Amino acid sequence: MSGERMRRLDAGGTLLPRPDPAERPRLARKAWLWGEFIAVFVGTPLLLTWLVFEQRLPLFVALQPVLIAFVAYLLWDDSFRLKSELAKDFAFTHLVGILLLFALAAAIVAWLVQTYMPAQYLAFPRQRTRTWQFVMIAYPLLSVVTQELVFRTFFFHRYGPLFGRHRWLAILLNGAAFGFAHIIFGNWVAVVGTAALGILLAWRYTATHSFWAVWLEHTLYGWLVFTVGLGGFFFTGIDRVG
């Protein structure tokens, strides 16, 4: 990966150079993009929360048209290639960093759950083994793929130029948007935990421009949450598993 690309805020599948209005948006376009950003990353979670809790629509059903719309946009946009996005690999040093950080985080989280939530610790894999196995398989293939396409790929492809060289502003805002999207679960643990994870994933994505790097890292933390006993914070009550 070139040094220039590593300094840029875009997606791995973004075709460079972009058209000038997209690369250096003027005031009117910036205003449009910020309004669009608020509608997408604030309005959509609020709408989904209303559909799930007021209209009693299962989250899986409510999410489908939203996810289809994001993927359709990426496929339609001439300045983006999904094939290129999925072809980006990442360095061995990043893999080592992902695994070492996860090992440390997993040890801390497991200790906290075992100490303060002993009844929940490993309850899911022990008591509902087959359901847990299904979640371990389905989560990275269905949930993580779509979340990363939306929150990392789409976010940095569409809104990266808004931030110029202000990489950390983009990373922090991405984490905040990722956390806010989880208000649908109705608890602060889901919001704060995913905001922190979102910051990590946004940093990783800007460092690697690799979908698969953040897919792997996201998958590991999801597996951790559902295994150690925190999965209950990530169900709406309508969509509970098993």
Give residues with Cβ within 8 angstroms of 22, minimum separation 6.
Answer: 79, 161
What pLDDT is stored for residue 7 in this prediction?
57
Residue type, 230: L
List alpha helices for 81-148, DSSP H. Answer: 82-87, 92-116, 123-127, 129-138, 145-148
Any domain includes 81: yes
Which tokens hold the place of 57? Answer: 């629509």
What pLDDT is stored for residue 237 in this prediction?
57
pLDDT in tens, 172-209: 999 999 999 999 998 999 999 999 999 999 999 999 99
Any domain includes 73: yes
User: How many domains is the chain partitioned into structurally?
Assistant: 1
Any domain includes 20: yes
Classified as helix, coil or strand, 80 is strand
Any domain includes 241: no
What pLDDT is stored for residue 242 in this prediction?
41
Record the pTM: 0.92
Any domain includes 140: yes
Classified as helix, coil or strand, 14 is strand
Per-chain mean pLDDT for the chain: 91
What pLDDT is stored for residue 241 in this prediction?
44
Any domain includes 87: yes
What pLDDT is stored for residue 239 in this prediction?
53
By the 8 A CB rule, do 122 and 229 touch? Answer: yes
What gap in Å lies between CA 106 and CA 224, rounded to an integer?
7
Which tokens hold the place of 189? Answer: 């643990």
Any domain includes 240: no
pLDDT in tens, 40-59: 999 999 999 999 888 888 87
Q: Is the peptide bond before 17 cis (omega within 30 degrees of 0)?
A: yes
Measured CA to CA in angstroms, residue 75 lies from 9, 66, 93, 94, 134 at distances of 20, 15, 31, 28, 30
Boundaries of domain holding 63: 3-234
Which tokens hold the place of 233? Answer: 């914070």
State the chain's maximal CA–CA distance in angstroms.
Answer: 57
What gap in Å lies between CA 184 and CA 52, rounded to an integer?
8
Half-sphere exposure in the Cβ direction for 86 (13 Å, CA): 8
Any domain includes 69: yes
What gap in Å lies between CA 10 and CA 19, rounded to an integer?
13
- Which residues of the chain are under the pLDDT cut of 70? 1-7, 236-242
Look at the alpha carbons of 63, 67, 70, 72 in this order and tell me if their dihedral is positive or negative. negative
What pLDDT is stored for residue 14 in this prediction?
94
Classified as helix, coil or strand, 226 is helix
